[in-house]
Chain A
Amino acid sequence: MTLLTLSGIRKSFGAVDVLHGVDLSVDKGEVVGLVGDNGAGKSTLMKTITGIYRADAGSIEFDGTDVLPLDPGARRELGIEMIYQDLSLAKQQDVASNIFLGREPTRKLFGLFPGFIDKARMDREAASIIARLGAHLPSINRSVGSFSGGQQQTVAIARALTFNPKLVIMDEPTAALAVREVQGVLDLIRRLKSEGIAVILISHRLNDVLAVTDRIVVLRHGRADANLATARTSMSEVVSRIVGGGDLSAAAMHEQRG
């Protein structure tokens, strides 16, 4: 069952054309790897899905809804979540504030004034989410900026998973992690898949992409240049598609050694 369908997505910034008509579809519970060289348009494409950028042309259908006219908040409501490479955390705010940012549970102050945050409930739920992820944080009330990189990523992941997403986009989630933490992220992706949640994984680490995805889409010069079933492809094919043909066995060997 198709969850997300992009067709003919175009996006340019001034005179620079970044996306020249991208077609992409993701099934429910499918893990799709999105690879491509720097400047191929991976991050731009993902930001048109989350609504941070508005596509110049094309259509985006998610779970049967045309999401193109919707703002990022409305798209999150529908179940599109993204974990950004820079994590996009508000570093001076605490864990719960970050996890619930934009979707805080509210109550009425003195039973009269609406729009006030139910901080106790927020802290409680944040703590249980962190515990469910099997992570340990120094304190739920500390500002996120005082945490280590791995801990900050835990917060970003928790924020993406709290509101029952249908699609989670991860931008280079393993780029800055230690070996053991990488396995944790890959396990998490497998777990999401088993729960029927679709994942788009952007990564330069082709070993990771080959290990967890069902399908690999290669973005090249602003187009979806190749669509490879992970089970029937190889490191060398992916590498040659990224760089654009030729004999690249040396480069592929290098990637394989990781």
Chain B
Amino acid sequence: MIHETAQSGLWARAQRTSVEQLHIRLESFIVLIVLSAIMAVLSPFFLSLSNFLNILLATSTIGVLAIAATYVIGSGGLDLSLGSVMGLSGVAGAYVAVNLGAPSPIGLAACVLAGAAAGYVNGQLITRAFVPAFIVTLGMLGLARGLALVISDGRVIYGLPAVMVYVGQGRPLGIPMPVIIFVITAIVAHCVLAYSKFGRHTMALGDSESAARAAGIRVERHRRILYTLSGALAGLAGMLFMARINSGDPTAGLNYELTAITAAIIGGTNLFGGRGSILGTMIGALIMGVLQNGLNLLAVQSYYQQMAIGAVLILAVFIDQYQVRKESRV
């Protein structure tokens, strides 16, 4: 009995250190390893370099969205429009490049700009019109998806120029371009969130808005920047996806907000703000990637994958809340 409490004390200490120092939930790391081990046993194809790159490639889109989710949820906000804005961005980029015949760099920039514009509108409505983030971004989920369908006339836009396709399909040194862009984005996002004034203020804002306000942080302006950033990242995800599938698909990113938010939450982002890290979110995104990849290798229907992701989200929040309740009882 005594031995057991000593052990659980050690585990609790390791958990606390991990959360406080690295902002990573220790459990999520273990889940990733266990999940990978199970997949490796079940499928002979799982443990190979090409499959590893496949997982990273599949994770790149979700990972970029999950970074956006980490910033916004960490600040005490919510962005449900991530998947729709991603779809809108891909269509916008393809439309600018194919239908308007603009040069490739402008087509790529159009993706990010379209996303940033949608995020800017979110931010304005939330901070100036005082409509709750849940409603604004839920509305934007419908608006952006509808606009993507209007622009593309409900059809997939084919025929991207070669430079744009290279961003999605090129493999310098054998590494897929989306993976390179994703990793660079993650490193920058991590440094900004963990070590910069902007990042620390983002978490303080989610922790206590009144404390942030009293400290002189311009809360509304900060939120507007965050939602615009979230939209721009969704635009970047849309760009990567569009380039990878070589077309602007108005249904791209459907339900991706579910996966992105799940990745952020299982990575240790506090649902109510104030805590979260890109490192943790990357583990969360990899868990999502491994789960999807593994289920694909095992030829499980994609319908079940949706169910699995939804279940994982609820389970992750349950574990988080259970621990909070347990701590507050002690």
Contacts and interface: CB of A to CB of B under 8 A. Distances in A.
A88 B216 CA distance: 12
Interface string B202-234: 011001101111111110000000000000000
B25 interface: no
Given A89-B208, A92-B274, A84 B197 contact: no
A91 B328 CA distance: 14
A92 B204 CA distance: 8
Main SS of chain B's interface residues? helix
A223 B25 CA distance: 53
Contact of B200 (A52, A76, A89, A104): A104
Contacts of A117: 195-197, 200
A109 B197 CA distance: 12
A116 B195 CA distance: 6
Interface in B161-218: 191, 195-198, 200-201, 203-204, 207-208, 210-218
B145 interface: no
In this complex, the member of A74, A75, A77, A98 whose beta carbon has the largest number of chain B beta carbons within 10 angstroms is A98
Contacts of B203: 90, 92-93
A179 to B, nearest CB: 27
A90 B214 contact: no
B218 A73 contact: yes
Contacts of B198: 115
B208 A88 contact: yes
Interface residues of A, number: 34
A43 interface: no
Contact of B195 (A52, A72, A89, A109): A109
B275 interface: yes
B211 A90 contact: yes
Interface in A160-204: none
Interface residues of B, number: 25
Contacts of B212: 90, 101-102
A143 interface: yes
B61 interface: no
A115 B197 contact: yes
A114 B211 CA distance: 24
Interface string B234-277: 00000000000000000000000000000000000010001100
28 contacts: A52-B213, A71-B216, A72-B214, A72-B215, A72-B216, A73-B216, A73-B217, A73-B218, A76-B216, A82-B214, A90-B204, A90-B274, A91-B207, A91-B274, A92-B207, A92-B274, A93-B200, A101-B215, A102-B201, A102-B217, A106-B197, A109-B191, A109-B196, A116-B191, A116-B197, A117-B196, A117-B200, A141-B20
Interface of B: 20-21, 191, 195-198, 200-201, 203-204, 207-208, 210-218, 270, 274-275
Given A82-B214, A94-B20, 17 more contacts: A74-B216, A75-B216, A76-B215, A84-B214, A88-B208, A88-B210, A90-B204, A90-B211, A92-B270, A101-B201, A102-B212, A102-B215, A103-B216, A104-B197, A117-B200, A119-B195, A142-B20
